[in-house]
Structure 1
């Protein structure tokens, strides 16, 4: 049985939009910039981040029989400016693409959301083999990887403010499955892997429209949850797309060629950077489809 084995270095937060050693830290945890917890795994995060045992934690396992179809859920729409893409980086825990979010140049609207949410970054979670790696689980099925597009609600003033509000952040989750017809658009990200092999590496990544990564179907599940890395703020409206996109086994191997260590340190493969499903605790998962 696959297990998530990654520790957590709070110096490189999943939420940030900047460089690994700088603004990559969660804006909600400025005082923890240099603290390396190096815990054995997600099951111990709550020892330093109590919210990790909160009532609205992510990811979750979605069981179709328990999902509620909601006919009032609208179609979601993304309007992304390719010029907003800035850099791609390896922060030791994921591969991340960073976007300019200083104004509404790349936004997500509709679906379960009220108003426009600005795109801040996208990143991926993957496993040590092709049979697991996604964070959310659908009817017992784990996919090879899961891509997260992170947006925030500008009505809260800034990203740090959005992290403190239940409607502060919206994440579009896309499942990646290994298949015979890999989505060619993934090549744009993967061809940059060689430039960010080790922790702390960052490279220019411009003129990229992430909407090319969306599947054809706009069907989705939605629920209220959290970030899947400490401090696990419960500020996210999740929009999980029903249709996965395909990648090749070679493309997945490319992701697994990243190292979680710096250039002058021994190679340590960056794999299994996923958090196991968390208890639903009475939350309702809604679907835009029957």
Structure 2
């Protein structure tokens, strides 16, 4: 869950060995986690999450070498997530996805041990407190990531435009124009959420993220998921073509953190 290209999911640099290169990997607030719903604490003081993307301007879609990412123009403070656990508005920077090779795994977070086929991450930064995204990314309250689970079912009409564009960024480090896409259309109707302090899920694994994980998934079709699986970890010149699948980090130890819920069970 970052713009880094310095890592991979296989071999000596895979997720199980990240602690060798990135000391944060064994930190006290690593992500993702398994959300145990019965242990989440309902917090009546948590306000609803307010998401305003009406003024956002998407610029491009790219294959970052570990995911597919849609990047956004810096639109002042008009494209923000606020409320809930956040003290300031956080500005949208990009969104990207994680998914599996086959249906029953792919999400980074799990709920009561259940994996979803995919997970959407909308990445925001605290532009009130920090001057740049890079500065925010290394600060304890610098980032806020809204996570949405993908569940297979009916075709998602609004995701179709994005999945139809994936052929343009099949190879690592390829980029194409992708304008006028409002990610509000990818959010679930129910805005109940869990929240906890965590980290980036890819190196350098900075512990700078306030996570907001929506309880309700969005439905996407198996054909739409298959279009994600046609992307490649490898570049166009690479002789070995590696399908981009299973690009998720497994759940990390909670280490005494409390997961708060905006809703009662």
**TM-score normalised per structure 2:** 0.94
Question: Structure 1 residues 152 and 85, CA, compared in 2 at 3 Å: closer, same or farther?
Answer: same
For the 8 Å contact 1:84–1:105, the answer to whether it is kept is no
Q: Give the structure 2 partner of residue 258 of structure 1.
A: 231
Unaligned ranges ≥5, structure 1: 1-13, 17-24, 26-32
State the secondary structure of the residue aligned to 1:231.
coil
For residues 104-163 of structure 1, the C-alpha deviation after alignment (integer angstroms, 9 at most, x for no partner) is 131111111111101000000000101100000101110000000000001111112212
| Offset at residue 103 of structure 1 (A) | 2.1
Moved more, 104-113 or 243-252: 104-113
2:145 to 171, 177, 181: 171
- Alpha-carbon distance in structure 1 between the residues aligned to 2:147 and 2:49: 13
The question of 1:131 aligning with 2:118 is answered: no
CA distance in 1, matches of 2:135, 2:172: 28
Query: Residue 185 of structure 1 aligns to a residue in which SS?
Result: coil
Give the number of equivalent residue pairs: 261
Q: Alpha carbons of 1:34 and 1:218: their partners in 2 closer, same or farther (altered >3 Å)?
A: closer
Distance 1:124 1:201, change over 3 A: same
1:272 aligns with 2:246: yes
CA contact (8 A) 2:194 2:262 kept: yes
Structure 2 contact 48–191 (Cα < 8 Å) conserved: yes
1:121–1:151 contact (8 Å) kept in structure 2 = yes
1: distance between equivalents of 2:241 and 2:2?
A: 25
Tell me if structure 1 keeps the 8 A contact 2:56–2:79: no
- The residue that corresponds to 2:160 in the other structure is 187
Q: Distance in 1 between matches of 2:225 and 2:162?
A: 12
Q: 2:135 aligns with which of 141, 161, 169?
A: 161
Alignment partner, residue 12 of structure 2: 39
- The equivalent position to 1:98 in structure 2, one of 71, 89, 96, is 71
Aligned-pair RMSD on alpha carbons?
1.7
Partner residue of 1:58?
31
